[in-house]
Amino acid sequence: MTGERLMPIYARLPVTLVRGEGCRVWADDGAAYLDLLGGLGALSLGHAHPRWVAAVTDAASTIGMTTNLVTTMPQARVADRLASITPVDDATVFLCNSGAEANEALLKLVRKHGLAAGRPIVVALEGSFHGRTIATLAATGQPAKRAPFEPLVDWIRFVPAGDVGALDAALAPGDVGAVLLEPILGEGGVVPLAPGYLRAVRDRCNASGALFAADEVQTGSGRTGRWLALEAAGVRPDVVALAKALGGGLPIGAVVARADLAFGPGEHGSTFGGGPVPSAAALAVLDTIEAEGLLANVAAMGGLLRDEVARLAPAGALAEIRGDGLLCGFRVHGSTAPAVVQALLARGVLASTAGPDVVRCTPPFTIGPDEIDEGAKVLAAALEDAA
């Protein structure tokens, strides 16, 4: 199957996958690949993890679609669980279907709060990525992605990432209701924000009355070895968006917000959000992360991958190695990241790019040292191939 009827939205790798197990996938021609792509960070437990499969199968055979006019047990349980593990005060949860939907809801929520307070502006970071819906695209700090669809909403103000002085200037008019950021700029090149900067943002939000809004779609649900990447800086957001790794392969997103910020009846909604099957999948992900000690494994394996690539890569092949946990970015010289990804594919490894100069690896949390060793060796060889 070539997928010629699919809209050409993605620059797809020339492979059709038919089966997966753990961190391995197989194509329709029988070729096997080590999956360091991991569903762009969504495949937290790998392919066909027994706990996840059992939970999804049980849910699908118990009750199907109900809508949010009623409550289901998986939905209620996943909301309780997210409220308990997410460092948001007096947390409430809105469940949806994707990261873009979670960020869209987050923006709508902080916009409502800001308008009520006479502070309608949302500050976002240059280089950020928050989704491809109209509002999330407007808040994405990458002009090339916005340009074909402009004019967009006019209440976003951009500042350079990591620049406290620029943030102070943006807050100075007193019209900012929220500051939105990714703790690690994912699509922007896997660029971590310094802990000191994150704490400075929190301090300035406290002083100005602005909300601290975090997009942890890529970094949350354990991707960095913590439930939220912000925990490394000791920062608590007022509202946070989650998705990707939360569902382990099924579409689910969440907004976790302070109770005083919550939407009221009729202010927002989602027909499929928090359905029984994806909620059961999310519960299986959270349960398995805890039962199998995967947060510690994420931290250890991510560090090992970065260290091994640094050791094995040809001299001068990499400009920088970035990331946290199993969100890893390997910055190359020039715009050769796509060529490296193709060289990886030819050698039996799947990865992605985060811009033209960054090779991104987001493998499952279950990856082990032998697979890390294999991936690092192949990446080093691919860097030489693409040189």
Same domain flag for 63 and 212 = yes
Active-site residue 149, yes or no? no
Identify whether 251 is part of a domain: yes
- Residue 207 domain-assigned (yes or no): yes
Residues 198 and 218 in one domain: yes
The tally of domains found in the chain comes to: 2
Same domain? For 276 and 366 the reply is no
Q: Do 44 and 86 fall within a single domain?
A: no
- Residue 2: pLDDT band by 50, 70, 90 thresholds? low
**Model's pTM, two decimal places?**
0.96
Closest CA to 329 of 129, 143, 186: 186
Please check whether residues 115 and 193 belong to one and the same domain. Answer: yes
Give tens-digit pLDDT for 16-63: 999 999 999 999 999 999 999 999 999 999 999 999 999 999 999 999
Q: Summarize the confidence of residues 316-344 as an average pLDDT.
A: 97
CATH number at residue 91: 3.40.640.10
Identify the CATH number of the domain in which residue 311 sits.
3.90.1150.10
Res 233: pLDDT:
98
Q: Is the pLDDT of residue 9 over 90?
A: no
Give the Cβ contact number of residue 259 at 10 Å: 11
- The pLDDT-based confidence of 386 (bands split at 50, 70, 90) is confident
- Give residue-wise pLDDT tens across range 213-228: 999 999 999 999 999 9
In a domain, 105, yes or no: yes
Q: Which residue has the tokens 């995967």?
A: 294
Inside any domain, residue 8: no
Relative to beta strand 176-181, strand 24-27 is unpaired
Q: Is residue 5 part of a domain?
A: no
- Indicate if 122 and 140 belong to the same structural domain: yes
Q: Examine the fold and report which residue of 256, 291, 326 is the final residue of a domain before the chain moves on.
A: 291
pLDDT recorded at residue 97: 97
Average pLDDT over residues 329-346: 97
Tokens 């990458």 sit on residue: 142
Domain extent for 21: 17-49+293-385
Enter the tokens of residue 23: 């961190």
Residue 17, φ and ψ in degrees, nearest 5: -90, 140
Closest to 242 in 3D by CA, of 38, 35, 23, 41: 41
* Confidence (pLDDT) at 5: 87
| 307 a catalytic residue | no
> Residue 3 pLDDT > 80, yes or no?
no
End residue of a domain, out of 258, 291, 324: 291
- Neighbouring-strand partners of residue 169: none
| Mean pLDDT score of the chain | 97
CA 21 vs. chain centroid, Å, equals: 22
At 342, which amino acid appears? Q
Tell me: do 40 and 183 sit in the same domain: no
Q: Choosing from 35, 94, 212, 215, which is the catalytic residue?
A: 215
Q: For this structure, is 215 an active site residue? A: yes
- Domain-located, residue 343: yes
Claim to verify: residue 364 and residue 276 sit in the same structural domain: no
> For 135-155, what is the mean pLDDT?
97
Local confidence band at 117 (pLDDT 50, 70, 90 cut-offs): very high
Using DSSP, how many helices (H) and how many strands (E) does the chain show? 11, 17
| Separation of alpha carbons 307 and 297, rounded Å | 15
Residues 77-81 have a mean pLDDT of: 98
Which of 291, 307, 342 terminates a domain? The answer is 291
Given 129, 212, 330, 365, the catalytic residue: 129
Catalytic residue among 94, 212, 238, 244: 244
The interaxial angle of helices 337-346 and 369-385, nearest 10 deg, is 120
Q: Are residues 41 and 107 in the same domain?
A: no
Average pLDDT over every residue of 352-364: 98
Mark whether 79 and 147 lie in a shared domain.
Answer: yes
* Same domain for 378 and 251: no
pLDDT at 163: 98
In a domain, 145, yes or no: yes
- Co-location of 42 and 146 in the same domain: no
